[in-house]
Structure 1
Amino acid sequence: MSSEFPFAQVIGDPIKQSKSPVIHGFWLEKLGLTAEYGKAHVQPQGLADYLSRSRVDANWRGCNVTMPHKQAIIPLLDSLDPLAQRIGAVNTVVRQEDGSLRGFNTDVAGFLEPLTDTLAKKHLFRMARILGTGGAARAIITGLSDNGMVIVLAGRNQEKAQSMIDELAPQGDHHIAPLDHFAQPTDFEFDDREGCCDIIVNASPLGMRGQPPLAFDFSHAPPGSIAYDIVMDPLETDFLRNAKDAGFRTIDGYSMLIGQASAAFELFFGAAPPREHDEELRERLMA
């Protein structure tokens, strides 16, 4: 894609399923900006070539980066924002005025956005149970540990979980657990949770259409917990439905998707997206 107007893209392999063009296109339309946002199917062997061609186009503002490129793209960039450097993953590349490429990670901001009001309050204790040790978990661990959360990271591979904690949140008193620990009921009696903040995050693809379900028994959720699922298809997963049935507040995958896109949009186009239209945007995403 080349354009006579400023433009940005999302790249990945595969890319057909990406909803980023819908989101950015919606905001460009609402703001009346003369700019474009598209998608490009970039396979791993073509990543360096894509960046070489794009960086010489003054109208190319940058790209969002999806799997499998979030880590592979790092050595091809000229500089990294400190947060992206810490996480070890880039989801947004921005072309600088001199043609150099800088990598950012807006997944942290996107993930934390729906938790802003909750995390602004003072709590006696904060704990996050994070289910999954894939790429998305890296940003989530970083964002929550920076906000004073004690992390319990659950994965199938305990060594991988421990190494992620050691790398991303070495200062805290964090823990690891086998993923199947949370599948069976528990009779653990939680203490009085008033003044505590508990978050349970599905950071895995489990529960996504075509994937096995996420086995989580909500007897492991302290009273007042927030259940957060980053899966977007289906939008209401069994995990979220079971959480609602158990009386917990839920946050769906569109929340993080729209939040991370919002931060990227501003980097690309120099304007804040019109977030007052989020409900209309959700309707368009679900159409």
Structure 2
Amino acid sequence: MNLSAAWRRAAVLGSPISHSRSPQLHTAAYQHLGVDISYTRFEVEEETVEEFLSERAAEPNWVGWSVTMPLKSAMVPHMSSVSTRVQTLGVLNTVLVGQDAQGRRTLHGENTDVDGIVKALKQVGITGEEPAAATFAVLGSGGTAAAALAAAAELNMAEARIYARSAARAAGGSLIAERLGLPLSIRPLNALGEDLSAGLLDVVVSTLPPRAADPLASQMPTDCKSKPVLLDVAYDPWPSALAQAWSQRDWPVTSGLEMLLHQAVRQVELFTENTRNPAAVQNDADHLLMVRKMRSAAGLHEGAEALDR
């Protein structure tokens, strides 16, 4: 390939990574913007982060990386700088590659998962505009769970609950919630059905890996005092068993692909900041068209476009 000086590249890093739809999303955006950024994927395990950073990442023309599991916390110590959000959460999902005044490579960590969760929930009516009275449940205790807690705070939730198999691992969420000013309690994962039956939960965000939440589907109550919203970040396969159980009860459900879309939109804005056509400064019509093309590339329906800006 003959590379021009204007050519840049980005990638998604993680393991497993073959299922990721990030390449489709980003490629559609860069084609719409007319900027020369190619986007691919790299299988990087937690044990090989340093090898990637010293070898592949040292190559020229990088603008940044999308970071998925299991690297969201492992990458943080390697950053030259991080955003306030990453400082609070201890996890990132975005790395911006730059240079300092001496021409040395710099790595800046950001977390756009929070943006993705907030936007996905807003599209099913969780706006954060009501008085803080709702309870926000997070299934799991990994890096995406930390972002979900930040989303709960941004959406003006009154309290949060983490449901996890390991209370010891989930305890890390208590420190994050304290930093966010968000009251938090930790519950065993198998208590979810009981709490739903009692009408204690308004929003449920499952951050568990694909199929890990399947056993919970059989615990779902047939009756519930409310209609809680579910965001299941695991989108392959879709619908998940948990999402199917939710839909069968006529409770609102949104796919992890919505979260993926909106966190990617923010990444595109960051990755194109120094190009001739930055995504963040498009007019509303062009921005909406870009998101529509990203939706189409990821196989998403277009019924939620009203909140795509």
Shift of 1:252: 0.6
Q: 1:134: which partner in 2?
A: 142
Distance in 1 (alpha carbons) for counterparts of 2:2 and 2:58: 11
Distance 1:88-1:148 versus aligned 2 partners, 3 A rule: same
CA distance in 2: counterparts of 1:27 and 1:70, whole angstroms: 24
1:135-150 → structure 2 map (5 Å cutoff)? 135-149=143-157, 150=159
Is the aligned partner of 1:282 residue 2:298? yes
Q: Displacement of 1:124 after TM fit? A: 5.5
1:199 aligns to 2:181 (yes or no): no
Q: How many residues align?
A: 276
| Distance change (3 Å), C-alpha of 1:92 and 1:279 | closer
| Distance in 1 separating the partners of 2:188 and 2:297 | 37
Q: Which deviates further from its counterpart, 219-228 or 81-90?
A: 219-228
Moved over 6 A (4+): none
Tell me: CA distance 1:146–1:120, structure 2 relative to 1, closer, same or farther (3 Å).
closer
If the length of structure 2 is used for normalisation, what is the TM-score?
Answer: 0.79
What SS does the aligned partner of 1:100 have?
strand
Uncovered stretches (5+) of structure 1, i.e. residues with no partner? 192-196
Cα deviation for residue 127 of structure 1 reads 0.8
Cα drift, residue 184 of structure 1: 5.3
> Does residue 178 of structure 1 match 2:170?
no
Q: Distance in 2 between matches of 1:17 and 1:79?
A: 30
From the superposition, tell whether residues 67 and 279 of structure 1 become closer, same or farther in structure 2 (CA, over 3 Å). closer
Alignment equivalent of 1:105, drawn from 100, 105, 111: 111
Percent identical: 26
Counterpart amino acid of residue 10 in structure 2: A
Give the TM-score normalised by the residue count of structure 1.
0.84
Cα gap change, 1:221 to 1:144, in 2 (>3 Å): farther
Counterpart residue number, 1:194: none
Distance (whole Å) between structure 1 residues aligned to residue 165 and residue 146 of structure 2: 16
Residue aligning to 1:123: 131
What corresponds to 1:160 in structure 2? 169
Letter in 2 for 1:107: D
Shift, 1:221, TM fit: 5.1
* Residue in structure 2 matched with residue 26 of structure 1 by the alignment: 28
SS in 2 for 1:214: helix
Answer whether contact 1:185 1:217 (CA < 8 A) is retained. no
268-277 vs 79-88, greater mean Cα deviation: 268-277
Q: Could you say which residue in structure 1 is the equivalent of 2:66?
A: 64
Quick one: distance in 1 between partners of 2:81 and 2:195?
A: 47
CA distance in 1, matches of 2:155, 2:57: 36
- Structure 1 residue 267, shift from structure 2 partner: 1.1
- What's the C-alpha RMSD, in Å, of the aligned pairs? 2.8
3-state secondary structure, aligned to 2:216 = coil
CA drift at 1:244: 1.8
Contact 2:9 2:38 in 1 (8 A): yes
Residue 127 of structure 2 aligns to a residue in which SS?
helix
Q: Which amino acid aligns with 2:118?
A: L
What amino acid does structure 1 have at the position aligned with 2:77?
A: P
Q: Relative to structure 1, is the Cα distance of residues 213 and 103 closer, same or farther in structure 2, using a 3 angstrom cutoff?
A: same
Query: Residue 140 of structure 1: CA displacement?
Result: 0.5
The answer (yes or no) to whether the contact 2:21–2:298 under 8 Å persists in 1 is: no
* Whole-angstrom distance in 1 between the partners of 2:131 and 2:291: 29
